[in-house]
Amino acid sequence: MSKEQWTAVDRYLTDLLVAPDAALDAALAASAAAGLPAINVTPNLGKLLFLLARMQGARNILEFGTLGGYSTIWLARALPAGGRLITLESDPKHAEVARANIARAGLSNVVDLRVGRALDLLPGVAADMRAPFDFVFIDADKPNNPEYFARSLELSRLGSLIIVDNVIRNGAVIEEDSSDPGVQAVRRMNEMLRAERRVTATALQTVGSKGYDGFAMVLVTSDPKQRSQ
Ligand SMILES: C[S@@+](CC[C@H](N)C(=O)[O-])C[C@H]1O[C@@H](n2cnc3c(N)ncnc32)[C@H](O)[C@@H]1O
Protein backbone atom coordinates (compact mmCIF):
# COMPACT_ATOMS: atom_id res chain seq x y z
CA MET A 1 0.00 0.00 0.00
CA SER A 2 1.32 3.42 -0.89
CA LYS A 3 0.28 7.04 -0.80
CA GLU A 4 -0.09 6.85 -4.61
CA GLN A 5 -2.71 4.14 -4.21
CA TRP A 6 -4.52 5.98 -1.39
CA THR A 7 -4.55 9.08 -3.58
CA ALA A 8 -5.90 7.16 -6.57
CA VAL A 9 -8.68 5.65 -4.44
CA ASP A 10 -9.48 9.08 -2.97
CA ARG A 11 -9.75 10.42 -6.52
CA TYR A 12 -12.00 7.52 -7.54
CA LEU A 13 -14.31 8.07 -4.57
CA THR A 14 -14.34 11.83 -4.99
CA ASP A 15 -15.11 11.60 -8.72
CA LEU A 16 -17.91 9.16 -7.98
CA LEU A 17 -19.53 10.62 -4.87
CA VAL A 18 -18.53 14.26 -4.47
CA ALA A 19 -20.24 16.33 -7.14
CA PRO A 20 -18.10 19.01 -8.79
CA ASP A 21 -18.77 22.29 -7.06
CA ALA A 22 -17.67 25.62 -8.49
CA ALA A 23 -17.44 27.43 -5.14
CA LEU A 24 -15.44 24.69 -3.41
CA ASP A 25 -13.10 24.31 -6.39
CA ALA A 26 -12.66 28.09 -6.56
CA ALA A 27 -11.92 28.20 -2.82
CA LEU A 28 -9.06 25.73 -3.24
CA ALA A 29 -7.75 27.54 -6.33
CA ALA A 30 -7.85 30.95 -4.64
CA SER A 31 -6.20 29.53 -1.50
CA ALA A 32 -3.38 28.02 -3.56
CA ALA A 33 -2.98 31.24 -5.57
CA ALA A 34 -2.67 33.22 -2.35
CA GLY A 35 0.02 30.85 -1.10
CA LEU A 36 -2.00 29.26 1.72
CA PRO A 37 -0.73 25.82 2.79
CA ALA A 38 -2.76 22.93 1.35
CA ILE A 39 -3.76 21.65 4.79
CA ASN A 40 -7.51 21.81 4.21
CA VAL A 41 -9.59 18.66 4.62
CA THR A 42 -9.87 16.42 1.57
CA PRO A 43 -13.11 16.50 -0.47
CA ASN A 44 -14.09 13.14 1.09
CA LEU A 45 -13.64 14.46 4.60
CA GLY A 46 -15.38 17.71 3.68
CA LYS A 47 -18.34 15.67 2.48
CA LEU A 48 -18.23 13.59 5.65
CA LEU A 49 -18.38 16.78 7.74
CA PHE A 50 -21.34 17.93 5.64
CA LEU A 51 -23.11 14.58 6.12
CA LEU A 52 -22.46 14.50 9.86
CA ALA A 53 -23.72 18.05 10.32
CA ARG A 54 -26.82 17.17 8.30
CA MET A 55 -27.44 13.97 10.27
CA GLN A 56 -27.01 16.00 13.41
CA GLY A 57 -29.61 18.52 12.22
CA ALA A 58 -27.07 21.15 13.25
CA ARG A 59 -28.34 24.73 13.37
CA ASN A 60 -25.32 26.21 15.15
CA ILE A 61 -21.79 25.16 14.23
CA LEU A 62 -18.44 26.23 15.68
CA GLU A 63 -15.18 25.71 13.77
CA PHE A 64 -11.62 26.15 15.06
CA GLY A 65 -9.24 26.87 12.13
CA THR A 66 -10.71 28.39 8.97
CA LEU A 67 -7.66 28.52 6.65
CA GLY A 68 -9.22 29.40 3.25
CA GLY A 69 -12.73 28.41 4.29
CA TYR A 70 -12.88 25.05 2.49
CA SER A 71 -14.25 23.02 5.43
CA THR A 72 -16.26 26.10 6.44
CA ILE A 73 -18.13 26.06 3.13
CA TRP A 74 -18.83 22.32 3.42
CA LEU A 75 -20.21 22.77 6.94
CA ALA A 76 -22.18 25.94 6.21
CA ARG A 77 -23.88 24.16 3.32
CA ALA A 78 -25.25 21.61 5.79
CA LEU A 79 -27.12 24.26 7.76
CA PRO A 80 -30.87 24.76 7.41
CA ALA A 81 -32.30 28.21 6.69
CA GLY A 82 -31.55 30.44 9.65
CA GLY A 83 -28.54 28.33 10.69
CA ARG A 84 -25.25 29.92 11.66
CA LEU A 85 -21.59 28.97 11.69
CA ILE A 86 -18.87 30.72 13.68
CA THR A 87 -15.33 30.03 12.48
CA LEU A 88 -12.13 31.15 14.24
CA GLU A 89 -8.87 31.96 12.44
CA SER A 90 -5.72 33.55 13.83
CA ASP A 91 -3.99 34.45 10.56
CA PRO A 92 -5.40 37.64 8.98
CA LYS A 93 -4.19 36.61 5.52
CA HIS A 94 -5.96 33.25 5.76
CA ALA A 95 -9.06 35.03 7.01
CA GLU A 96 -9.02 37.47 4.09
CA VAL A 97 -8.83 34.64 1.54
CA ALA A 98 -11.52 32.72 3.42
CA ARG A 99 -13.83 35.74 3.51
CA ALA A 100 -13.66 36.05 -0.28
CA ASN A 101 -14.17 32.29 -0.74
CA ILE A 102 -17.16 32.28 1.61
CA ALA A 103 -18.66 35.29 -0.20
CA ARG A 104 -18.20 33.57 -3.57
CA ALA A 105 -20.06 30.56 -2.17
CA GLY A 106 -22.94 32.88 -1.19
CA LEU A 107 -22.50 32.12 2.50
CA SER A 108 -21.46 35.47 3.98
CA ASN A 109 -24.78 35.86 5.76
CA VAL A 110 -24.44 32.41 7.35
CA VAL A 111 -20.76 32.42 8.34
CA ASP A 112 -19.41 34.62 11.12
CA LEU A 113 -15.62 34.58 10.62
CA ARG A 114 -13.70 35.93 13.62
CA VAL A 115 -10.01 36.76 13.45
CA GLY A 116 -7.71 36.16 16.40
CA ARG A 117 -6.38 33.34 18.53
CA ALA A 118 -9.23 30.95 19.19
CA LEU A 119 -8.72 30.95 22.96
CA ASP A 120 -8.89 34.76 22.98
CA LEU A 121 -12.01 34.77 20.81
CA LEU A 122 -13.97 32.19 22.79
CA PRO A 123 -15.27 34.52 25.53
CA GLY A 124 -16.84 36.69 22.81
CA VAL A 125 -18.26 33.61 21.10
CA ALA A 126 -19.78 32.47 24.40
CA ALA A 127 -21.26 35.92 24.98
CA ASP A 128 -22.79 36.11 21.50
CA MET A 129 -24.00 32.57 21.02
CA ARG A 130 -27.75 32.29 20.67
CA ALA A 131 -27.86 28.58 21.58
CA PRO A 132 -25.34 25.86 22.41
CA PHE A 133 -23.41 24.56 19.42
CA ASP A 134 -24.85 21.39 17.90
CA PHE A 135 -21.64 20.59 16.04
CA VAL A 136 -18.01 21.59 16.60
CA PHE A 137 -15.08 20.99 14.22
CA ILE A 138 -11.64 21.38 15.83
CA ASP A 139 -8.91 21.87 13.21
CA ALA A 140 -6.60 24.72 14.30
CA ASP A 141 -3.23 24.59 16.12
CA LYS A 142 -2.91 21.08 17.51
CA PRO A 143 -1.13 21.81 20.83
CA ASN A 144 -4.27 23.61 22.04
CA ASN A 145 -6.60 20.69 21.25
CA PRO A 146 -7.15 19.65 24.90
CA GLU A 147 -8.23 23.20 25.75
CA TYR A 148 -10.34 23.47 22.57
CA PHE A 149 -12.09 20.24 23.47
CA ALA A 150 -12.76 21.39 27.05
CA ARG A 151 -14.12 24.74 25.89
CA SER A 152 -16.20 23.13 23.13
CA LEU A 153 -17.84 20.90 25.69
CA GLU A 154 -18.80 23.95 27.76
CA LEU A 155 -20.42 25.49 24.67
CA SER A 156 -22.32 22.31 23.74
CA ARG A 157 -25.53 20.57 24.78
CA LEU A 158 -26.62 17.02 25.38
CA GLY A 159 -26.43 15.42 21.89
CA SER A 160 -23.81 17.75 20.40
CA LEU A 161 -21.14 16.25 18.16
CA ILE A 162 -17.48 17.30 18.32
CA ILE A 163 -15.05 16.26 15.56
CA VAL A 164 -11.32 16.69 16.09
CA ASP A 165 -9.10 16.35 13.03
CA ASN A 166 -5.52 15.02 12.79
CA VAL A 167 -5.48 12.79 15.84
CA ILE A 168 -3.37 9.95 14.39
CA ARG A 169 -0.49 12.01 13.02
CA ASN A 170 1.05 9.38 10.76
CA GLY A 171 0.76 6.85 13.60
CA ALA A 172 2.88 8.93 15.99
CA VAL A 173 -0.04 9.13 18.42
CA ILE A 174 1.18 5.91 20.06
CA GLU A 175 4.63 7.37 20.82
CA GLU A 176 4.49 8.06 24.55
CA ASP A 177 7.79 9.95 24.53
CA SER A 178 7.21 11.92 21.35
CA SER A 179 8.84 15.35 21.31
CA ASP A 180 6.10 16.62 18.96
CA PRO A 181 3.79 18.95 20.98
CA GLY A 182 0.95 18.07 18.58
CA VAL A 183 1.30 14.38 19.42
CA GLN A 184 1.50 15.05 23.16
CA ALA A 185 -1.60 17.27 22.91
CA VAL A 186 -3.58 14.56 21.10
CA ARG A 187 -2.54 12.06 23.76
CA ARG A 188 -3.65 14.45 26.53
CA MET A 189 -6.94 15.03 24.78
CA ASN A 190 -7.49 11.29 24.37
CA GLU A 191 -6.98 10.87 28.13
CA MET A 192 -9.55 13.61 28.68
CA LEU A 193 -11.99 11.77 26.41
CA ARG A 194 -11.49 8.60 28.43
CA ALA A 195 -12.03 10.33 31.77
CA GLU A 196 -14.81 12.72 30.79
CA ARG A 197 -18.13 11.20 31.85
CA ARG A 198 -20.24 13.64 29.86
CA VAL A 199 -19.07 12.28 26.48
CA THR A 200 -18.52 9.06 24.60
CA ALA A 201 -15.93 8.98 21.83
CA THR A 202 -14.04 7.01 19.27
CA ALA A 203 -11.24 7.78 16.82
CA LEU A 204 -10.69 6.49 13.31
CA GLN A 205 -7.53 6.10 11.25
CA THR A 206 -7.74 7.35 7.68
CA VAL A 207 -5.52 7.14 4.61
CA GLY A 208 -5.85 9.20 1.46
CA SER A 209 -4.36 11.94 -0.65
CA LYS A 210 -3.19 13.73 2.53
CA GLY A 211 -1.44 10.63 3.86
CA TYR A 212 -2.12 8.71 7.07
CA ASP A 213 -4.05 10.46 9.81
CA GLY A 214 -7.50 10.32 11.37
CA PHE A 215 -10.14 12.05 13.40
CA ALA A 216 -11.91 11.71 16.72
CA MET A 217 -15.66 11.78 17.04
CA VAL A 218 -17.16 12.80 20.36
CA LEU A 219 -20.83 12.69 21.30
CA VAL A 220 -21.99 14.69 24.30
CA THR A 221 -24.09 12.26 26.31
CA SER A 222 -24.89 14.30 29.44
CA ASP A 223 -25.75 17.90 30.05
CA PRO A 224 -22.35 19.67 29.90
CA LYS A 225 -23.55 22.09 32.58
CA GLN A 226 -23.32 19.20 35.07
CA ARG A 227 -19.64 19.01 35.76
CA SER A 228 -17.84 15.69 35.44
CA GLN A 229 -16.92 13.97 38.77
C1 LIG B 1 -5.49 22.85 9.31
S2 LIG B 1 -5.80 24.53 9.00
C3 LIG B 1 -7.58 24.58 8.92
C4 LIG B 1 -8.11 23.89 7.69
C5 LIG B 1 -9.58 24.10 7.46
N6 LIG B 1 -10.36 23.64 8.62
C7 LIG B 1 -10.01 23.33 6.24
O8 LIG B 1 -10.08 22.09 6.34
O9 LIG B 1 -10.27 23.93 5.19
C10 LIG B 1 -5.50 25.28 10.56
C11 LIG B 1 -5.79 26.75 10.61
O12 LIG B 1 -5.79 27.13 12.00
C13 LIG B 1 -5.22 28.41 12.09
N14 LIG B 1 -4.75 28.61 13.47
C15 LIG B 1 -3.53 28.29 14.00
N16 LIG B 1 -3.47 28.64 15.28
C17 LIG B 1 -4.68 29.18 15.59
C18 LIG B 1 -5.23 29.73 16.77
N19 LIG B 1 -4.54 29.79 17.92
N20 LIG B 1 -6.49 30.19 16.73
C21 LIG B 1 -7.21 30.14 15.58
N22 LIG B 1 -6.74 29.63 14.43
C23 LIG B 1 -5.48 29.16 14.44
C24 LIG B 1 -4.11 28.41 11.05
O25 LIG B 1 -3.75 29.74 10.70
C26 LIG B 1 -4.76 27.63 9.92
O27 LIG B 1 -5.37 28.49 9.01
pLDDT tens track for 189-227: 999 999 999 999 999 999 999 999 999 999 999 999 887
In ligand 1, the atom with minimum distance to the C-alpha of 68 is: 9
- Per-residue pLDDT, 130: 85
Encode pLDDT of 52-95 as tens digits.
Answer: 999 999 999 999 999 999 999 999 999 999 999 999 999 999 99
In ligand 1, the atom with minimum distance to the C-alpha of 94 is: 27
C-alpha 119/C-alpha 18 separation (Å) is 34
Handedness of CA 84, 90, 96, 101 (dihedral sign): negative
What does the pLDDT average to over 106-123? 98
What does the pLDDT average to over 158-174? 96
Nearest residue (by CA) to ligand 1, atom 8, is 40
Answer whether residue 229 shows pLDDT above 60: no
75 CA from centroid of ligand 1 (Å): 15
C-alpha 151/C-alpha 144 separation (Å) is 11
What does the pLDDT average to over 150-167? 98
25 CA from centroid of ligand 1 (Å): 19
- Per-residue pLDDT, 226: 83
142 CA from centroid of ligand 1 (Å): 9
The per-residue DSSP string of 89-147 comes to ES-HHHHHHHHHHHHHTT-TTTEEEEES-HHHHHHHHHHH-SS-EEEEEE-S-GGGHHH
How confident is the prediction for the chain on average, in pLDDT?
A: 96
Which residues' Cβ are closer than 6 Å to ligand 1?
A: 39-41, 65, 67, 70-71, 88-91, 94, 117-118, 139-141
C-alpha 217/C-alpha 49 separation (Å) is 11
99 CA from centroid of ligand 1 (Å): 14
C-alpha 102/C-alpha 36 separation (Å) is 15
229 CA from centroid of ligand 1 (Å): 32
C-alpha 72/C-alpha 46 separation (Å) is 9
Residue 94's identity, in one-letter code, is: H
Q: To the nearest 10°, the Cα dihedral for 119, 125, 126, 132?
A: -110
- Per-residue pLDDT, 227: 72
Ligand 1 binding pocket mutation candidate from 48, 64, 215 (most atoms within 8 A of CB): 64
pTM tops 0.95? yes
Residues 59 and 83: beta-carbon distance below 8 Å = yes
C-alpha 8/C-alpha 154 separation (Å) is 40
176 CA from centroid of ligand 1 (Å): 25
Read off the pLDDT band of 1 (50, 70, 90).
confident
Q: By percentage, how much of the chain surpasses pLDDT 90? A: 96
What does the pLDDT average to over 121-150? 97
